[in-house]
Amino acid sequence: MKKPEIARINGIDISYEVSGTGPLIVMVMGTGSPGRVWKANQQPALVKAGFRVALFDNRGIAPSSECPGGFTIGDMVADTAGLIEHLGEGPAIVVGTSLGAHITQELALARPDVVRGAVMIATYGRNTPLQRAISAGERALYDSGITLPPDYEAAITAHLNLSPHTLDDDRSAQDWLDIIGFSPQKVTPGVRAQYGIHEHEGNRLAAYRGITVPSMVIGFADDRTLPVKLAKEVADAIPGSRYEVVEKAGHFGYLEQPEKVNALLIDFARSL
């Protein structure tokens, strides 16, 4: 197994690894998850398609610096830009999901010099009341020292992040519950810091009209966590953005429908 490297970037440690040869793709994961999640499906497909793929752990996710005192979306944008500069192979195609997608679109706006193309998966440009309530609940659970029973946490995670088409099949639902249960997300001080990022952030859709790099937004039709309408809003805001919807997919659609997501990523990357 390839051992991640550690680079000093933006004043902190960033854990990363790079595989393959060809044009550089940097992949940005969502809240609470390590970069290795991309290894399940996207990284192997992109490497096979002729790309050099960099995965990394966002600040807040060890062995990158956890920064438990808190940080901003701007800090995470600067980390991603700094990694691209550290690799010395930019500008890069940047792919992000959920929080990672939000970082990607903010990076495309602030540092177009390091972004060759941007892909935002299951993204958003504004916080909804439901998002704020879920985020506040996650923070409150951690701050109160409450740990949910593992089976219940797996069920809630599946319900929020998987398509009804996946969960309607009992065997499929049980398989996913087992997978989630075997690899639970541990809420560390760094993850708690990630939970607080958007607490005071406003509507960014108008700002995204200033994004000039080639962009693609991918929404998941059955996304309960970040409803697909939010991805469409981002696509509508970015001039000339390509917009795609993957059916029978929830917030974890890149895991539920990997072939469809991978095909979209490869097609976009090859078009640049």
Show which residues are catalytic: 98, 223, 251
Contact at 8 Å (CB) between 262 and 42?
Answer: yes
Compute the distance between CA of residue 198 and CA of residue 228 in angstroms, rounded to an integer: 19
Tokens of 266: 């490869």
Contact at 8 Å (CB) between 27 and 96?
Answer: yes
Give me the phi and psi of 220, to 5 degrees please: -110, 125
| Strand-strand pairing, 5-9 and 12-19 | antiparallel
